Amino acid sequence: MNKVIQKYKNSRFRKFIRRNNKYLPLIFFIGGFIMDVFTLGRIDQAFSLVLLSTYLLLLSVTLYLYNLVDDGTWKNTFLERFELYFPLAIQFFLGSLSSAYVIYFSRSVSLSKTFVFFLILIGLFIANEFLKKRIANKYLQFSLFFFVNFTFFTFMVPVILKEMNTLVFLFSGGLSLALTLLLITFIYRKSPSTRYEINLKKLTRIILSIYLAINTFYFTNLIPPVPLALETGLVAHKVEQKNGEYLVTYEQDDWYVFWRSHRQKFAYKANERVYIFTSIFAPTELSIPVFHRWKKYVESTNDWLITDKIGYQITGGREQGFRGYTYKQNVDPGKWKVEVITEDEQILGVINFEIIEDENQKVKRIVKHSF
């Protein structure tokens, strides 16, 4: 056995790994992200559920195996030959799980609501640069593990329960917190080197701080209510339903405004209706009420005044999202916005527009699009 292990240690492939160990962790982290781009489908599809569940399970197992390496637990066993690859596997699974959240919510038309998690992802990439040298820093290891664990359960629990509300979010976060602390405690008891390197109370405080931070993000609307996503949101002149399709008439923006198709200045005629059309992705069999909260900017008070809150029920399952609309008539010119919110007033997205009078009825570039 020893001769086989020694021969394996001196193989060309392992020499290549050692020579390039400065760059390989980053490559594996990015590889996990790219793998998600090409393999993940809808969050409620069985394949996506199984794939992400497998990633989390393998990440948990690899963390356990890696943290016992310094104790010599795997010496003279078949696992000894794979010890060099444990950090790379950890990088790959972290990349896959951390990117899943960003991939699903980059579909939202309100990226400002997911921007905080894009920043967190960038933070993961930065941390990754030091992770090879600091992989022994178990505080960093388990903090990153808890973050991807938390996001995993906030996606998966609503899909499984077919229900989405604040209580489900809290349950998801509590479940991820309990499982993370369980894994840490298990490794702590099994590994003398881990007991030497970390203060369990300090690590627990760090994990609890991350838990409180994510909850703060959620309740202050810095992240959208997962797993819902606002896929389309625009102001329109007319919305019609024909043969199962929604025909939406709206003003198209100039060609150089490539990040959106609709114009934010609404040319208003007297007695015309102003429509807000949205499509919201929700997992199959999830049925919840959503609302369009209309607000008008009041210059005298420098504040937004709520004028209407109009709701309707959405049912998940449609690939391009559940379609719906609300409208107002006899509106005043000025700055407006419509917040798309849940029953718990979690914001899915915001549609900003300005109503301008159009006495000459010269509307710019009207188009009719089918959704």
Residue that terminates a domain, selected from 165, 185, 219:
219
> What is the chain's mean pLDDT, rounded?
82
Instruction: Compute the distance between CA of residue 108 and CA of residue 228 in angstroms, rounded to an integer.
Output: 9
pLDDT band at 136 (very low <50, low <70, confident <90, very high): low
Domain residues for the domain of 279 are 229-370
Percent of the chain clearing pLDDT 70 (strictly above): 77
Q: In what order do the strands lie in the sheet with 273-281?
A: 229-236, 273-281, 322-329
The verdict on 48 and 142 lying in the same domain is yes
Query: What pLDDT score was predicted for residue 261?
Result: 77
CATH number of the domain enclosing 259: 2.60.40.1930
Q: Which of 82-86, 116-120, 121-125, 183-187 has the lowest mean pLDDT?
A: 121-125
Higher pLDDT, 120 or 204: 204
Structural domain includes residue 61: yes
* Same domain (yes/no): 192, 142: yes
Tens-place pLDDT, residues 167-211? 999 999 999 999 999 999 999 999 999 998 889 999 999 999 999
Q: Residue 118: what pLDDT?
A: 60
In this model, does residue 40 exceed pLDDT 70?
no
Residue 224 included in any domain: no
| pLDDT at 109 > cutoff 70 | no
Q: Is residue 119 domain-shared with residue 144, that is, in the same domain?
A: yes
Phi-psi group of 295: left, alpha or beta (phi > 0 → left; psi -120 to 50 → alpha; rest → beta) = beta
Task: In whole angstroms, give the CA distance from residue 168 to residue 163.
Answer: 7
Query: Residue 89: its pLDDT value, please?
Result: 87
Bridge partners of 321, per DSSP, are: none
- For residues 235 and 345, membership in a common domain is answered with yes
The band of 131, judged by pLDDT with boundaries at 50, 70 and 90, is low
196 and 264 housed in the same domain: no
Q: Calculate mean pLDDT across residues 230-238.
A: 91
Single out the residue in 151, 186, 219 at which a domain terminates: 219
DSSP state letters, 78-118: GGGGGGGGHHHHHHHHHHHHHHHHHHHHTTSS-GGGTHHHH
Shared domain for 70 and 113, answered yes or no, is yes
The share of the chain scoring above pLDDT 90, in percent, equals 37
| pLDDT for residue 59 | 95
The pLDDT assigned to 286 comes to 87
Instruction: Summarize pLDDT for 89-108 with one digit per residue, the tens.
Output: 888 888 788 777 677 666 65
Q: Do 236 and 206 belong to one domain?
A: no
Give the tens place of pLDDT for each residue, 272-297: 899 999 999 888 888 899 999 999 99
Phi, psi (degrees; rounded to nearest 5) at 198: -125, 155
pLDDT of residue 179: 96
* Whether 122 and 12 share a structural domain: yes
Residues 155, 282: one domain?
A: no
Q: Is the pLDDT of residue 53 over 80?
A: yes
C-alpha distances in angstroms, 151 versus 79, 215, 288, 361, 366?
30, 11, 21, 49, 41
pLDDT band at 324 (very low <50, low <70, confident <90, very high): very high
Task: Note whether residue 37 is domain-resident.
Answer: yes
In a domain, 275, yes or no: yes
Judgement on whether residues 254 and 334 belong to the same structural domain of the protein: yes
pLDDT of residue 9 exceeding 60, the answer is: no
Tell me the CA distances in angstroms from 106 to 87, 95, 110, one per residue in order. Answer: 28, 16, 9
66 within some domain: yes
214 with 246, same domain: the answer is: no
The reported pLDDT for the residue numbered 358 is 74
pLDDT at residue number 238: 93
Q: Exposed, middle or buried, 332 (CB in 10 Å: 0-12/13-18/19+)? A: exposed
Provide CB contacts within 8 A for 161, sequence distance 6+: 168
Do residues 189 and 138 both lie within one domain? yes
User: Which pLDDT score, from 0 to 100, does residue 113 have?
Assistant: 56
Is residue 290, in this structure, part of any structural domain at all? yes
User: 128 or 30, which is more confident?
Assistant: 30
Q: Classify 2 as helix, strand or coil.
A: helix
Tens of pLDDT along 332-351? 999 999 999 999 888 888 99
As for how many domains the chain has, the answer is 2
pLDDT band at residue 236 under the 50/70/90 scheme: very high
DSSP 332: P
Mean pLDDT on 29-36: 66
Higher model confidence: residue 370 or residue 254? 370
Helices 24-39, 115-134: inter-axial angle, 10-degree rounding: 140
Domain boundary among 175, 198, 219: 219
The secondary structure of 312-331 as a DSSP string is: EEEE---TT-EEEEEEEESP
